[in-house]
Amino acid sequence: MSETMTITIGGKTRRENERGKKACRRIRATGWLPGIIYGHKQDPVAVVLPAHDLEQALRKGTHVLTIDLEGASEQVLVKDVQWDHLGSSMIHVDLARVDLHERVKVNVQVVLRGTPKGAAEGGVLEQVLSEMEVECVVTQIPESLRVNVADLGVGQALHIRDVPLPEGIVATGDPDTVICVCRVLGEEPAPEAAVAEGEAAPMEPEVITRGKVEEEEAEEA
Protein backbone atom coordinates (compact mmCIF):
# COMPACT_ATOMS: atom_id res chain seq x y z
CA MET A 1 0.00 0.00 0.00
CA SER A 2 1.29 3.45 -0.89
CA GLU A 3 2.28 5.76 1.91
CA THR A 4 0.16 8.68 3.01
CA MET A 5 0.73 11.83 1.00
CA THR A 6 2.26 14.60 3.11
CA ILE A 7 1.95 18.22 2.03
CA THR A 8 4.04 21.08 3.39
CA ILE A 9 2.23 24.29 4.31
CA GLY A 10 3.82 27.47 5.55
CA GLY A 11 2.35 28.95 8.70
CA LYS A 12 2.90 31.64 11.30
CA THR A 13 2.58 31.75 15.06
CA ARG A 14 -0.23 33.99 16.23
CA ARG A 15 0.69 36.94 18.42
CA GLU A 16 -1.31 37.97 21.47
CA ASN A 17 -3.12 40.71 19.51
CA GLU A 18 -4.25 38.07 17.00
CA ARG A 19 -6.36 36.19 19.53
CA GLY A 20 -10.09 36.58 20.05
CA LYS A 21 -13.21 36.53 17.93
CA LYS A 22 -12.73 39.86 16.14
CA ALA A 23 -9.04 39.23 15.50
CA CYS A 24 -9.80 35.80 14.00
CA ARG A 25 -12.43 37.36 11.74
CA ARG A 26 -9.83 39.84 10.47
CA ILE A 27 -7.35 37.00 9.90
CA ARG A 28 -9.83 35.06 7.77
CA ALA A 29 -10.62 38.19 5.75
CA THR A 30 -6.97 38.29 4.64
CA GLY A 31 -6.98 34.69 3.39
CA TRP A 32 -5.48 33.07 6.50
CA LEU A 33 -7.06 30.53 8.83
CA PRO A 34 -6.69 30.43 12.63
CA GLY A 35 -5.67 27.11 14.10
CA ILE A 36 -4.15 25.31 17.06
CA ILE A 37 -1.36 22.71 17.21
CA TYR A 38 -1.34 20.45 20.27
CA GLY A 39 -0.25 17.05 21.54
CA HIS A 40 2.85 15.02 22.47
CA LYS A 41 2.87 16.63 25.93
CA GLN A 42 3.95 19.95 24.48
CA ASP A 43 2.27 23.31 24.97
CA PRO A 44 -0.43 24.15 22.41
CA VAL A 45 0.60 26.71 19.81
CA ALA A 46 -1.86 29.11 18.18
CA VAL A 47 -1.11 29.48 14.47
CA VAL A 48 -2.44 30.89 11.22
CA LEU A 49 -2.29 28.95 7.94
CA PRO A 50 -2.99 29.93 4.32
CA ALA A 51 -6.65 28.95 3.91
CA HIS A 52 -6.41 28.22 0.18
CA ASP A 53 -3.42 25.87 0.57
CA LEU A 54 -5.10 23.99 3.42
CA GLU A 55 -8.37 23.63 1.53
CA GLN A 56 -6.55 22.27 -1.52
CA ALA A 57 -4.73 19.74 0.66
CA LEU A 58 -7.99 18.57 2.24
CA ARG A 59 -9.64 18.21 -1.18
CA LYS A 60 -6.85 15.79 -2.11
CA GLY A 61 -7.68 13.63 0.90
CA THR A 62 -4.60 14.70 2.84
CA HIS A 63 -4.59 13.81 6.54
CA VAL A 64 -0.95 14.49 7.46
CA LEU A 65 0.68 17.88 6.99
CA THR A 66 4.14 19.30 7.53
CA ILE A 67 3.68 22.79 8.95
CA ASP A 68 6.65 25.09 8.41
CA LEU A 69 6.45 27.56 11.28
CA GLU A 70 9.00 30.24 10.54
CA GLY A 71 11.80 27.73 9.98
CA ALA A 72 10.66 25.06 12.44
CA SER A 73 8.73 22.09 11.02
CA GLU A 74 5.88 20.23 12.73
CA GLN A 75 4.40 16.91 11.53
CA VAL A 76 0.68 17.13 12.29
CA LEU A 77 -2.52 15.19 11.77
CA VAL A 78 -5.66 17.11 10.77
CA LYS A 79 -7.98 16.33 13.70
CA ASP A 80 -10.88 18.69 13.15
CA VAL A 81 -11.95 21.46 10.78
CA GLN A 82 -14.71 23.85 11.83
CA TRP A 83 -16.87 25.41 9.10
CA ASP A 84 -19.27 28.34 9.07
CA HIS A 85 -23.03 27.76 9.40
CA LEU A 86 -23.34 27.41 5.61
CA GLY A 87 -20.59 24.80 5.45
CA SER A 88 -18.79 26.78 2.77
CA SER A 89 -15.87 28.44 4.57
CA MET A 90 -13.41 27.11 7.15
CA ILE A 91 -13.21 29.08 10.38
CA HIS A 92 -10.73 27.05 12.46
CA VAL A 93 -8.54 23.95 12.29
CA ASP A 94 -7.23 21.62 15.02
CA LEU A 95 -3.90 19.91 14.33
CA ALA A 96 -2.32 17.17 16.48
CA ARG A 97 1.42 16.56 16.55
CA VAL A 98 2.31 13.06 15.40
CA ASP A 99 5.25 10.75 14.93
CA LEU A 100 5.20 9.09 11.51
CA HIS A 101 5.57 5.66 13.14
CA GLU A 102 2.68 5.87 15.60
CA ARG A 103 -0.85 4.56 15.21
CA VAL A 104 -3.70 7.06 15.17
CA LYS A 105 -7.47 7.08 14.79
CA VAL A 106 -8.85 9.04 11.89
CA ASN A 107 -12.08 9.35 9.89
CA VAL A 108 -11.79 8.24 6.26
CA GLN A 109 -14.31 8.84 3.48
CA VAL A 110 -16.30 5.83 2.26
CA VAL A 111 -16.78 5.82 -1.54
CA LEU A 112 -19.42 3.50 -3.04
CA ARG A 113 -18.63 1.92 -6.42
CA GLY A 114 -20.91 0.13 -8.87
CA THR A 115 -24.67 -0.21 -9.29
CA PRO A 116 -26.53 -2.53 -6.90
CA LYS A 117 -28.33 -5.42 -8.56
CA GLY A 118 -31.40 -4.37 -6.62
CA ALA A 119 -31.68 -1.30 -8.86
CA ALA A 120 -33.14 -3.55 -11.57
CA GLU A 121 -35.95 -4.38 -9.12
CA GLY A 122 -36.77 -0.76 -8.34
CA GLY A 123 -34.33 -0.38 -5.48
CA VAL A 124 -32.48 2.84 -4.72
CA LEU A 125 -29.04 2.96 -3.08
CA GLU A 126 -28.97 5.06 0.08
CA GLN A 127 -25.64 5.88 1.74
CA VAL A 128 -26.13 6.23 5.48
CA LEU A 129 -22.51 6.68 6.55
CA SER A 130 -20.18 8.84 4.46
CA GLU A 131 -17.03 8.18 6.49
CA MET A 132 -15.81 5.73 9.10
CA GLU A 133 -13.14 5.77 11.76
CA VAL A 134 -10.10 3.55 11.38
CA GLU A 135 -6.88 3.04 13.29
CA CYS A 136 -3.56 2.68 11.50
CA VAL A 137 0.01 3.93 11.27
CA VAL A 138 0.14 7.60 10.28
CA THR A 139 1.92 6.87 7.01
CA GLN A 140 -0.76 4.34 5.95
CA ILE A 141 -3.89 6.50 6.25
CA PRO A 142 -5.90 5.82 3.07
CA GLU A 143 -7.32 8.74 1.08
CA SER A 144 -10.65 6.88 0.96
CA LEU A 145 -12.20 3.44 1.39
CA ARG A 146 -13.83 2.16 -1.82
CA VAL A 147 -16.66 -0.35 -1.50
CA ASN A 148 -18.25 -2.33 -4.35
CA VAL A 149 -22.04 -2.45 -3.96
CA ALA A 150 -22.83 -4.42 -7.14
CA ASP A 151 -24.06 -7.49 -5.19
CA LEU A 152 -26.47 -5.52 -3.02
CA GLY A 153 -30.09 -6.60 -3.55
CA VAL A 154 -33.32 -4.90 -2.47
CA GLY A 155 -33.60 -4.86 1.30
CA GLN A 156 -29.92 -5.66 1.78
CA ALA A 157 -27.47 -3.45 3.67
CA LEU A 158 -23.72 -3.14 3.82
CA HIS A 159 -22.13 -2.72 7.25
CA ILE A 160 -18.79 -1.59 8.62
CA ARG A 161 -17.80 -5.25 8.98
CA ASP A 162 -18.26 -5.67 5.21
CA VAL A 163 -15.78 -2.96 4.22
CA PRO A 164 -12.50 -4.48 2.96
CA LEU A 165 -9.54 -2.89 4.71
CA PRO A 166 -5.85 -2.91 3.70
CA GLU A 167 -3.44 -4.82 5.91
CA GLY A 168 -2.62 -2.98 9.11
CA ILE A 169 -5.82 -0.91 9.13
CA VAL A 170 -8.55 -1.67 11.67
CA ALA A 171 -12.10 -0.29 11.83
CA THR A 172 -12.89 1.09 15.29
CA GLY A 173 -16.66 1.57 15.00
CA ASP A 174 -19.48 -0.85 15.73
CA PRO A 175 -19.20 -3.56 13.03
CA ASP A 176 -23.02 -3.65 12.74
CA THR A 177 -23.25 0.04 11.78
CA VAL A 178 -24.93 0.44 8.39
CA ILE A 179 -22.87 2.01 5.60
CA CYS A 180 -25.52 1.87 2.87
CA VAL A 181 -28.77 0.08 2.00
CA CYS A 182 -30.67 -0.72 -1.17
CA ARG A 183 -34.38 -0.09 -0.64
CA VAL A 184 -37.54 0.71 -2.51
CA LEU A 185 -38.68 4.32 -2.21
CA GLY A 186 -41.45 4.67 0.34
CA GLU A 187 -40.03 2.04 2.67
CA GLU A 188 -38.67 2.89 6.08
CA PRO A 189 -35.14 4.33 5.73
CA ALA A 190 -32.13 2.52 7.16
CA PRO A 191 -31.27 3.36 10.76
CA GLU A 192 -28.79 6.18 11.07
CA ALA A 193 -25.23 5.38 12.01
CA ALA A 194 -24.84 6.32 15.66
CA VAL A 195 -22.96 5.39 18.77
CA ALA A 196 -24.75 2.52 20.47
CA GLU A 197 -26.69 3.40 23.61
CA GLY A 198 -24.41 3.31 26.60
CA GLU A 199 -21.28 3.10 24.46
CA ALA A 200 -18.62 5.68 25.14
CA ALA A 201 -17.56 7.95 22.29
CA PRO A 202 -14.33 6.89 20.57
CA MET A 203 -11.25 8.24 22.32
CA GLU A 204 -8.04 9.46 20.77
CA PRO A 205 -4.93 7.31 21.17
CA GLU A 206 -3.05 8.12 24.34
CA VAL A 207 -0.08 9.40 22.38
CA ILE A 208 -2.13 12.41 21.28
CA THR A 209 -2.97 14.64 24.24
CA ARG A 210 -5.12 17.57 23.29
CA GLY A 211 -4.09 20.96 24.56
CA LYS A 212 -6.53 23.51 25.88
CA VAL A 213 -7.80 25.68 23.07
CA GLU A 214 -8.22 29.35 23.94
CA GLU A 215 -11.68 30.23 25.20
CA GLU A 216 -12.31 32.57 22.32
CA GLU A 217 -11.47 29.81 19.80
CA ALA A 218 -13.85 27.35 21.45
CA GLU A 219 -16.59 29.98 21.61
CA GLU A 220 -16.14 30.84 17.95
CA ALA A 221 -16.17 27.20 16.80
Return the number of other C-beta atoms located less than 10 Å from residue 131's C-beta: 15
Is residue 130 in some structural domain? Answer: yes
pLDDT range class, residue 217, cuts 50, 70, 90: very low
Q: Give residue 185's identity as a one-letter amino acid code.
A: L
What DSSP line would sit under 122-182, residue for residue? Answer: TEEEEE--SEEEEEEEGGG--SEEEEE-TT--TT-EEEGGGS---TT-EE-S-TT-EEEEE
Nearest to 142 by CA among 162, 170, 114: 170
Q: Are residues 14 and 90 in the same domain?
A: yes
CB burial class (10 A; 0-12, 13-18, 19+) of residue 35?
Answer: buried
Q: Are residues 127 and 150 in the same domain?
A: yes
**Which CATH number characterizes residue 127's domain?**
2.170.120.20
What is the per-residue pLDDT across 26-36, written as a single tens digit (0 to 9) for each? 888 999 999 99
The stretch 106-125 carries a mean pLDDT of 93
Domain housing 165: 105-184
Could you tell me the pTM of the whole model?
0.66
Q: Are residues 89 and 151 in the same domain?
A: no
